[in-house]
Amino acid sequence: MPTESKLTRRLRHGARLSERDIGQLETISASAIDIVASTDLIKQHDVAKHAHIILDGVACRYKFLRDGRRAIVALLLPGDFCDLQDSIQQKMDHSIATLVDCRIAKLDKQEITRLLESSPAIRRACLWATMVEEATLREWLVNVGRRSSEEAVAHLFCELDARLGAVGLARGHVFYLPLTQATIADVIGISAVHVQRVIANLKDAGLIMLQDRVLVIPDFASLAEMADFDETYLHLGNTVGPHEQ
Amino acid sequence: MPTESKLTRRLRHGARLSERDIGQLETISASAIDIVASTDLIKQHDVAKHAHIILDGVACRYKFLRDGRRAIVALLLPGDFCDLQDSIQQKMDHSIATLVDCRIAKLDKQEITRLLESSPAIRRACLWATMVEEATLREWLVNVGRRSSEEAVAHLFCELDARLGAVGLARGHVFYLPLTQATIADVIGISAVHVQRVIANLKDAGLIMLQDRVLVIPDFASLAEMADFDETYLHLGNTVGPHEQ
DNA sequence: CGACGGGTTGAGCCAGCTCAATGGGCGTGG
DNA sequence: CCACGCCCATTGAGCTGGCTCAACCCGTCG
């Protein structure tokens, strides 16, 4: 099945899905709509009416401080839920925006409930996704709080490689990196110009190649080593699905 | 009821609990045991066998980097669950340790299941607690990534005031602060020496008083203002329970 | 009484910041 | 088709918040 959606590919890592489950997910994926870059899906203080699922492109959760500083607190990649739990909740404590053109499925509360009640495997997969998201937040906190900027950027690249690889968007440690330096800066908590210098250093050290948004990690082990990257927190372990092709 | 446990007090913020629910929670609370400071409850890479609930004292989630740097990624206060979801999960991606002497309830998987299935209100409260934890992680990420060290420490104090207040451990913006400067440093991602200077500045500015571990916030609004503290993310809004005495 | 865990203080250093200017790619309007 | 503007990356120069190292102090506990 060459057309299996990113959502299915992602959730396969969280639970063993039946044919019927996959059918469900594919139906949802098929309903996705296009949304252009830099659109807010939900704004802080709004009440979430639907959940969003990214099928193509990249979005982020972010917060602004009064003086305009921005912090990005999550990157949402294909296969990721944006607000499974948030949509149950009351007021959003952050905003969500697309970073590039995206294809996104929207589910209202009813559809979410129906999805969650349709099968234990799907429920398990969604719970898994939530836990992975929380674990990722913790790892980012380490990244921002205790790693040098070079380690932090390297760590981010390792994480993206793993996460994109898990949905088939990275092969052989080569992938399209859809982030501007300013975006990376707001993820790591440093300035945009410093991102530039850090990337230059990583290039000089031969740890990465990056041109026209294509990132190549020639020796993943070295990069992971300098970044202190340990992918346990992504919990991709129980990969069940086919590593076809 | 002067002896209502911190667990009950905390979960009241997440759902309207019945007498029966409270009975459950009080039974659990009564089974708590004492654990001395600086004990690991669970270590990274272990598989969680039980969930822990803090009833007294403070614990933290933390991670070490290879070179010994430490990052604290959560503070666990009375009424907090340590690992509701983790205990469903496989390998821990972080450790949990007590920071001071604690009273802690341990639940094995069976007891967790029984608790969650005992009532929808309790289920809702636990879901709420999980979402608040995630929201707190996001706010910390902002703190560490985009706030100055003074703002960050001030923000932490505001958060602790709100969280401790929610379980009756802070009154009139005065509370016992059970953290060493080194601990605060690992929360904020700065050095212990610098914590000292930051606290000195906050004192000089008249924003806090701190002596013998007792923190007084004479003018909460001012501190919150400089810290850019907005307590939405703690979702204490739907307080239902009695604000007695 | 010595050791140890915290807090406090000083001095010098450096990672990462700000400000500023430059250049390329691309879309839009004339 | 060109010109303009905008977004993004790049580079230089000087500044500073927070760091490290190193004392020293105090209270507590064995």
Residue B245 DSSP code: -
- pTM confidence score: 0.94
**What pLDDT, on the 0 to 100 scale, is given for residue B91?**
84
The set of long-range contacts for A125-128, using a CB threshold of 8 Å and a minimum separation of 24, is: A125/A11, A125/A14, A125/A15, A125/A17, A126/A11, A126/A14, A126/A81, A126/A84, A127/A14, A127/B85, A127/B88, A128/A13, A128/A14, A128/A15, A128/A235
Query: Considering only CB atoms, which chain B residues are within 8 Å of A86?
Result: 131
Question: What's the confidence (pLDDT) of residue B170?
Answer: 96
Residue B241's pLDDT is 41
Q: What is the pLDDT of residue B89?
A: 65
Residue B222: the pLDDT is: 98
Query: What is the rounded distance in angstroms from the CA atom of residue A128 to the CA atom of residue B216?
Result: 41
Q: Could you report the per-residue pLDDT of A48-99, keeping only the tens digit for each?
A: 888 999 999 999 999 999 999 999 999 999 999 988 776 666 789 999 999 9
Q: Which residues of B16-39 are buried (b: 16+ CB within 10 A; e: fewer)?
A: ebeeebbebbeebbeebeebeeee
Q: What is the pLDDT of residue B56?
A: 95
Count of C-beta atoms within a 10 Å radius of residue A169:
18
Contact predicate B6/B116, CB 8 Å = no
| Residue A184: both structure tokens together | 């990376």
Find the mean pLDDT for residues A169-192.
97
- Residue spans of chain B under pLDDT 50: 239-245
Taking only the tens place, the pLDDT of each residue in A95-146 is 999 999 999 999 998 899 899 998 999 999 999 999 999 999 999 999 999 9
CA distance, residue A86 to nearest chain B CA (Å): 8
Checking if the pLDDT of A2 tops 90, the result is no
Judged by a CB distance cut-off of 8 A, whether residue B13 touches chain A is no
The answer to whether B91 contacts chain A (CB < 8 Å) is: yes
| 3-state DSSP helix/strand/coil % of chain B, to nearest 5 | 45, 20, 35
**Tokens 């008249």, located at residue:** B206
| Residue A47 in contact with partner chain B when CB distance is under 8 A | no
Number of other residues whose CB lies within 10 A of the CB of residue A7: 25
The DSSP letter of residue B206 is: T
Residue A212 backbone dihedrals phi, psi, to 5 degrees? 50, 45
Check residue A91 and give its pLDDT: 84
Residue type, A218: P
Q: Over 70: is that where the pLDDT of A239 sits?
A: no
**pLDDT at residue A88, rounded to an integer:** 66
- Cβ(B145)–Cβ(B71) below 8 Å: no
What pLDDT was estimated at residue B90? Answer: 72
User: What is the reported pLDDT for B1?
Assistant: 52
Biggest alpha carbon–alpha carbon distance for chain A: 52
**Nearest nucleotide by C1' from A200 CA?**
D10
Asked whether strand C has any atom less than 7 Å from the CB of B192, the reply is yes
| Model confidence band, residue A238 (pLDDT cutoffs 50, 70, 90) | low
| Cα–Cα distance for residue pair A149/A155, rounded to 1 Å | 10
